[in-house]
Amino acid sequence: MKRKVQISFQTMTYLEGQPPDSFSFVTEGDYYIKNNASYLRFKEAHTHGQDVYSTMKWDGEELMLIRQGGIIMRQSFAPKQETFGRYVTPEASWETKAITETLIVQLPKANKSKGKIYVRYHFFLQGQATGEHEIRLTIERKEE
């Protein structure tokens, strides 16, 4: 059963010698459980006019980020592990790598209406370091 949720999304990028870069938005999405995995699906808010839909799949050990639309991306995150993925735009396709430092996933349950996802990782695009990144989501079930 899908439940409507409100999501506060924030990313931070840290590059050596530069101030942190941040991006945030609030949106509505769906939260559901299927085949022993939890899913969070929402539309990203971008300023460049391309719709991008994100799905986060949590299986209890690994968080998979799937982005579809103007950008296509698949990247998994697992604590203290190196994981590989792909980032695709209309112009090019790149191999990605994440080295996850911290992964915290606390999803809404029947007895609590709030949850959060926190990921801190080093990211590489086609072998080139793009800095240290954080993703922070706050999830709140909406009353139906």
Residue with token string 């924030």:
10
Contact 42, 27 (CB under 8 A): yes
Q: Enter the pTM of the model.
A: 0.91
Residue 100 burial (10 A CB sphere; 0-12, 13-18, 19+): buried
Specify the amino acid at residue 78.
A
Q: pLDDT in tens for each of the 144 residues of the chain? A: 889 999 999 999 999 889 999 999 999 999 999 999 999 999 987 656 678 899 999 999 999 999 998 889 999 999 999 999 999 988 999 999 999 999 999 998 766 789 999 999 999 999 999 999 999 999 998 876
Q: Which of 73, 67, 124, 121 is nearest to 99 (CA)?
A: 121
Q: From the centroid of its chain, how far is CA 62?
A: 12
Alpha helices in the chain, H assignment, sequence order = none
Q: Which domains does the chain have, with CATH numbers?
A: 3-141 (2.40.128.20)
